[in-house]
Structure 1
Amino acid sequence: MKFIAVLALCSLVSTAPVGASIPFFSDKDETPTLAPMLEEVTPAVVNISVKGKREVRQRVPDMFRYFFGQNGPREQVQERPFQGLGSGVIIDADNGYVVTNNHVIDDATEIVVTLKDGRQFDAKVLGTDDRSDIALLKIENGSNLTEIEIGSSDALRVGDFVVAIGNPFGLGQTVTSGIVSALDRSGLGIEEVENFIQTDAAINSGNSGGALVTLKGELIGINTAILGPTGGNIGIGFAIPSDMMKALVQQLVEFGEVRRGVLGVRGNDLTHEIAQALDLDVNQGAFIAEVIPEGAAAEAGLKSGDVIIAVDGRPIRTFADLGARVGSIGAGKEIELTVLRDGKERDFEVTLSEMETAVTAEELHPALSGATLAVDEGGGVVIAELEENSIAARYGLRQEDVILAVNRQPVNNLTELRQALDNAGNVIALNIRRGNSSLYLVLRGN
């Protein structure tokens, strides 16, 4: 069985450009070497150690539940201390900004950043985005820091040489090399928003949040995960592209959170069969099956049957690629979509709308009390969190259930769910997607 292990990796930045002027040969005998480039960029890669407490849920055996009566708790929640190690990259020396993975610092109450020269600083979290696994830290009272130059991941090609820098297994700063094995990897189930660079540079546990750099020392990825049957490196590692990271970090700096833009379409990959049916000369793109009424795409004039082949001039290969590109752009931003319609290319200016944030379901209907709702990217409204023994739980709802319709009225977002519940009578039939199954749950109205 394939096993995806999320790792701690490290990323770099440089105060001065480290481009073509960096020699790739030894001064003594002209032996090929990456040492000059690494001497410039490795001071920008840091080790991150964290401490904190996490909730651990344990099932209560039935024999012990009798002490609490028939309605006794099914789970016992305890807080347990944890420690962790990861990597990070200094992207702004003046402000002490460090980029890492969200999973490296999640739930941490203490964060210590260790530089290559051994200096240690406390750090605080400025903002996180768990959907893309990005976190922005600020080094407190830091001085004489080195930042890395951020390159463009869009310029990468399969076969380009890359170097990974991080803190594998807590050994200390470690450098490995390889090539770009693939681009635009998605559908792996590692994160909600995926558009990974794949590399065979060795990445292991502890490398998460570290740097993937070019031979010029430019940061082009944040190492995040590996694919391996035992959690060890087998030459398949994944990094968040620098262009995506940069767009997300800009929002974290400005707002303290990511305010995602929403296009308002549903669809799938442009397959060979769809291309033949539409008489198209391309076989890659995002096929629009449905345009959400009053959404950004509808306002711009997009229609079902259109095929999006580029965003701001950058090619789109899959629907997931489109979702990752749009998902890293902030709400209110204007983008240009290149679309195939009736076999001809057309450009559309689209102003992205804002994604609705999670709400407490009790605000929408008393029968949903105890659930926290959010928009599901695959369509519908997802139960993001669910309190144990809550009213919603007693009705049979489960965490990660997706509400698709209310009394057969489809719901695509929180606004539509609110309207459908307002129009519902005493009996509310929720059409639920649970995993690969579909079912109905009946709730009582007010």
Structure 2
Amino acid sequence: MNANEPHEQGTSGGGWSQFGATPPSAGGFKRPDDTLITPVPPQPAPPKQGFTGVQKAVAGLALAAMAVGGGVAGAVIATSVSQPTTSVSAPSPTFKQAANQYTVADVAKNVSPSVVMIQGSTGEGSGVVLSEDGLILTNNHVVVGAGQGSGGMTVKFSDGKSAKATVVGTDPATDLAVIKAEGVSGLTKANLGDSDQLQVGDAVLAIGSPLGLDGSVTAGIISALDRTLTVGGEQEQQQQIPPGWPGGGQSRQQQQQGGGATTIGGAIQTDAAINPGNSGGALVNAAGEVIGINTAIATNGGSSGNIGVGFAIPINTAKQVSEQLIKSGKVSHAFLGVSVTDATGDVPGALIRQVTDGSPAQAAGLKTGDLITKIGDKAVEGGDTVVGAVRGFKPGEVVKITYMRDGKTAEVQVTLKEKTGA
């Protein structure tokens, strides 16, 4: 396989995996004693009522049984005035049996060989192995940082070996890139999952090289889905500080005017610890599948470290982009043809400031001054939402846009075109 040929990638539907032909479901991580941590549903409180003398004795026996039996949780006392009886419910399990799940240690051990450290003269980050002969997926801002200077890029693998690397293709619009490690073979390629199947609360691991500490693993959950974030220019991206967050440097408007901003739609939010150097690394589910590429963190105050709010590019987006980069070195993006800004009135949305001549937006009848409130079924909170949403579509797709004009709501179907030029 060479850098210009398509490659086969793992999917959530089966195929090759570090764990064998059939990876388990991605519900959660197993404890070493074969139990799966699951939330305990709240138990309804028993009705408050007075006890007769007989009822008090019955209750005392039930409580004594709980003490002798080791404190059975969820005991419920049922009483009746005419015929006092007792009934003790089954315990509410804190842990659920899940023999087909892996422990955190299992997943970390099997996935870590597919995650690399990327080093350069002025920057560093992480990457995910796509092929046995050295194709590696990472962030564009990692490649930009590591590729500066005369030293080029070096990839360090989990076994301690290193190799020089060259750029196959970059896509600043999605902050993704593919590089190729030179002179390598037999690498452990990652098993890529399906980010469309994710749910808030799913257990995840972040694997990468924070602060140059290669092979680091942190655990957490998916905190939210479908976030839109704007990361700034080259320097801000190296530090993984999204503008607009406290301590993130310039304001969002300044970043956009500076021309170096990248808006990412559909991002995965996680509380798994992510720090500078994790960029381009793997966000992994409990089945050992890569479901996101770690990209940015929110910060608080002047610190650039983790505060439990990190973001990853969904792997389905990364698959689509990486396949195009490997095939042709460039990526085709959808084009709507509007310039938008955040709404300032009582109704949230994106105000159209300009419509490009000959664009899909003009053909569909959108005009300057229209307020976009929805794209498809997604509510639009501001201009960034529109930018991020459009980048998630392919050229030729038909998208429903809901907008307001003169106080009236209307809908229009827009056929997106391929973006050309810079």
So what's the TM-score if we normalise by structure 1?
0.58
The AA in structure 1 aligned to 2:362 is A
**Correspondent of 1:98 among 136, 150, 157:** 136
The AA in structure 2 aligned to 1:39 is K
Q: Is the 8 A contact 2:127 2:282 kept in 1?
A: yes
Q: Does 1:194 align with 2:273?
A: no
Q: Does 1:335 align with 2:378?
A: no
Unaligned 5+ segments in structure 1 are 1-11, 51-81, 275-282, 358-446
Q: Equivalent residue of 1:213, what SS?
A: strand
CA RMSD between the two structures: 3.3
1:21 to 1:353, Cα distance in 2 relative to 1, 3 A? closer
- Post-superposition offset of 1:337: 1.1
Could you say which residue in structure 2 is the equivalent of 1:88?
127
- Post-superposition offset of 1:159: 3.2
Q: Is the 8 A contact 2:115 2:157 kept in 1?
A: yes
Q: Equivalent residue of 1:37, what SS?
A: helix
1:7-42 residue CA offsets vs partner (Å, 9 max, x unmatched): xxxxx9784263428994356565863222333322
Could you say which residue in structure 1 is the equivalent of 2:25?
20
Could you say which residue in structure 2 is the equivalent of 1:356?
421
Could you say which residue in structure 2 is the equivalent of 1:47?
117
Could you say which residue in structure 2 is the equivalent of 1:370?
none
Q: Equivalent residue of 1:246, what SS?
A: helix
Could you say which residue in structure 1 is the equivalent of 2:338?
265
Q: Equivalent residue of 1:250, what SS?
A: helix
Counterpart Cα distance in 2 of 1:31 and 1:348: 46
Counterpart Cα distance in 2 of 1:338 and 1:261: 14
Could you say which residue in structure 1 is the equivalent of 2:215?
173
Counterpart Cα distance in 1 of 2:215 and 2:187: 16
Counterpart Cα distance in 1 of 2:415 and 2:318: 22
Q: Does 1:294 align with 2:299?
A: no
Q: Is the 8 A contact 1:162 1:215 kept in 2?
A: yes
Q: Equivalent residue of 1:116, what SS?
A: coil
Q: Equivalent residue of 1:38, what SS?
A: helix
- Post-superposition offset of 1:219: 2.0
Could you say which residue in structure 2 is the equivalent of 1:134?
176
Could you say which residue in structure 1 is the equivalent of 2:387?
323
**Correspondent of 2:153 among 101, 111, 115:** 111
1:316 to 1:18, Cα distance in 2 relative to 1, 3 A? farther
The AA in structure 1 aligned to 2:314 is P
Q: Is the 8 A contact 2:397 2:415 kept in 1?
A: yes
Counterpart Cα distance in 2 of 1:289 and 1:227: 29
- Post-superposition offset of 1:43: 1.8
Instruction: Report how many residues are paired.
Output: 302
Structure (1/2) with the larger strand percentage: 1
So what's the TM-score if we normalise by structure 2?
0.61
1:315 to 1:18, Cα distance in 2 relative to 1, 3 A? farther
The AA in structure 1 aligned to 2:340 is G
- Post-superposition offset of 1:241: 2.6
Q: Is the 8 A contact 1:153 1:221 kept in 2?
A: yes
Counterpart Cα distance in 1 of 2:127 and 2:391: 23
1:54-95 residue CA offsets vs partner (Å, 9 max, x unmatched): xxxxxxxxxxxxxxxxxxxxxxxxxxxx354321001x2245
Q: Is the 8 A contact 1:23 1:37 kept in 2?
A: no
Counterpart Cα distance in 1 of 2:352 and 2:24: 41
1:272 to 1:95, Cα distance in 2 relative to 1, 3 A? farther
- Post-superposition offset of 1:208: 1.6
1:123 to 1:216, Cα distance in 2 relative to 1, 3 A? same
Q: Percent identity, aligned pairs only? A: 37
1:279-330 residue CA offsets vs partner (Å, 9 max, x unmatched): xxxx6x655454322112222444553636235x766554312212323556
Q: Is the 8 A contact 2:134 2:182 kept in 1?
A: yes
**Correspondent of 1:255 among 305, 320, 328:** 328
Q: Is the 8 A contact 1:18 1:149 kept in 2?
A: no
Which of 215-224 and 23-32 deviates more? Answer: 23-32
1:162 to 1:287, Cα distance in 2 relative to 1, 3 A? farther
1:93 to 1:264, Cα distance in 2 relative to 1, 3 A? same
Q: Does 1:148 align with 2:153?
A: no
Counterpart Cα distance in 2 of 1:243 and 1:131: 16
**Correspondent of 1:223 among 294, 307, 330:** 294
Q: Is the 8 A contact 1:48 1:86 kept in 2?
A: yes
1:330-389 residue CA offsets vs partner (Å, 9 max, x unmatched): 6xx2112122367777562513142422xxxxxxxxxxxxxxxxxxxxxxxxxxxxxxxx
